[in-house]
Structure 1
Amino acid sequence: MSSTQQQVDHGVTIEAGLETVFELVADVARWPQFHLSAVHAEVLHTNEKGDLIQYWSLVGDSAVRTWRTVRRTDRPGGRITFAYVEADPPATEIRGEWVFTELAQDRTRVELRHHVSAPAGADLRPLLDRIDQDAKEHLDTLRDAAQRRAELDELVLSFTDPLFVAGSIEDAYDYLYRADLWPERIPHVVGLAMTEEVPNVQFFDMDTKGPDGSTHTVRSVRICLPPNLIVYKQISLPALLDAHTGHWRFTQTPEGVIAEARHTSTLKPSALSLLGAGTTVGGARRYLRRLLSANSMSNLRLAKAFAEERADDLP
């Protein structure tokens, strides 16, 4: 059967060092914090063929697509290659590469290339248009994150709060998975409308009450990977933030479960005055850490109580 080949090339010059730029691409777990459509990415396993990575990405604000690639990273050669495990129809193969070239000490050229194969006569226009748009958005995000690295190091707040649960991992997970029940279970959640059209992919609009009595509405997407992980990303954000991602992770131990809440938030510099005139980034970080930690620890304690009430009594 005859086939057709298409190549889609994009490039950008970034005012940042090669190692900084390379690392931002290689560390796929960080993409959701800086790239608008990225929800979650994780390395499933690594062997001599490379890294098997699964990605989840937003389509609009109410759907998620997921795919897997095999990636090989060549740091000395300044290259990252990838190939889709299953190509999106009508393509029969999608592969590509990131190529990094140092132009000067703090100037890097990045090329992103996609190679698409399909049966002769296949209409590749919708797929190529999507690849074109995604590539442009990724490169724009990469340039912004790399060139603002020093500023973002100050604006991004990331922390994890753990709690031991003397109960089953399934019960602890289920309490936080059932977000549709949060308004009746969690005091600071006053309303929540959730959809789960695809199993374990949740979208919800949540109304929460702040310490001052004010109500805030945010829209989030969650990827649920039972019974160990629930990853979330806020799609619509509080006025103070440019990004907010995180997870609930559940780790089995011989004695019970370690449940943890993780938050990664990017402060919006122009909104600091919402916390009062003269508020500094440091002051906003302290405020945000107190607020987010208080809420998530409250949720973890409720999940702990739920799971421990259902735990079998010790002999």
Structure 2
Amino acid sequence: MRRVTVSDEHTISADLDSVYDCFWNAECWPRITPHVRKIEMIEADTRHQRMLMTVEAHDRLYTVESMRETLPKHTITYRQTRPPVFLTEHTGEWHLDEVQSGVRVRLMHHAVIDVQRAMETLGLESEEEAVETVRRTLKTNGERTIVAVKRHLESQAGHVAGQH
């Protein structure tokens, strides 16, 4: 077992309400992200969610179950209650901070990798290759989500601004 932490940060030129809504209402992700194929909301209220998410990685589809909690317009934390087979744990948090140019979004992933399972599942030769592949995938998919939300919101803002 190997524990990894991966982080990413981007600034989105949009208002806090819009940025928060796009990250909390994950049902829009399949429309705007390249790797999230399906979101099925099982339970949801203003502070808690339980959902199934189907994601593409390594040319395969993985369906994970996640519990999410929010401190609205500030943080969203998650814990995968059913992570991919090569992770024994996957948790993380999204932090949203208003800055002069919009909203700074920081994402942290914390995962425990079952290295042997990762090597077998992903067809990899070494433990280090397995750890690096999983680390890179977590970073890439997190960044894809942030960048997709950024493009979506900033293109909407540009479209609206262009109509005036």
The 5 A counterparts of 1:119-268 are 155-212=2-59, 214-268=60-114
Sort the Cα spacing of 1:279 and 1:230 in 2 relative to 1 into closer, same or farther, 3 A: same
Q: Which has the larger radius of gyration?
A: 1
Query: What residue ranges of structure 2 are gaps of 5+ in the alignment?
Result: none
Distance 1:265 1:219 in 2: 15
Query: What residue ranges of structure 1 are gaps of 5+ in the alignment?
Result: 1-151
Q: 1:199 Cα shift?
A: 2.3
Contact 1:172 1:306 in 2 (8 A): no
Superposition CA RMSD, Å? 1.9
Q: Which residue of 2 aligns with 1:96?
A: none
Q: Which structure ranks higher in relative contact order (CA pairs < 8 Å, sequence separation ≥ 6)?
A: 2
User: Percent identical across equivalent pairs?
Assistant: 26
Q: Deviations over 1:209-249 (max 9, x none)?
A: 2232x211110000022101111000011111110001111
Sort the Cα spacing of 1:181 and 1:255 in 2 relative to 1 into closer, same or farther, 3 A: closer
Q: Deviations over 1:8-43 (max 9, x none)?
A: xxxxxxxxxxxxxxxxxxxxxxxxxxxxxxxxxxxx
TM-score (norm 2): 0.86
Distance 1:188 1:201 in 2: 23
Distance 1:230 1:307 in 2: 19
Distance 1:261 1:310 in 2: 23
Sort the Cα spacing of 1:277 and 1:196 in 2 relative to 1 into closer, same or farther, 3 A: closer
Sort the Cα spacing of 1:306 and 1:235 in 2 relative to 1 into closer, same or farther, 3 A: same
Give the secondary structure class of the aligned counterpart of 2:125: coil
More helix by share: 2
Q: Which residue of 1 aligns with 2:143?
A: 297
Contact 1:263 1:292 in 2 (8 A): yes
Q: 1:277 Cα shift?
A: 5.3
Which 4+ runs in 1 deviate beyond 4 A?
none
Aligned length: 158
Structure 1 residue identity aligned to 2:116: S
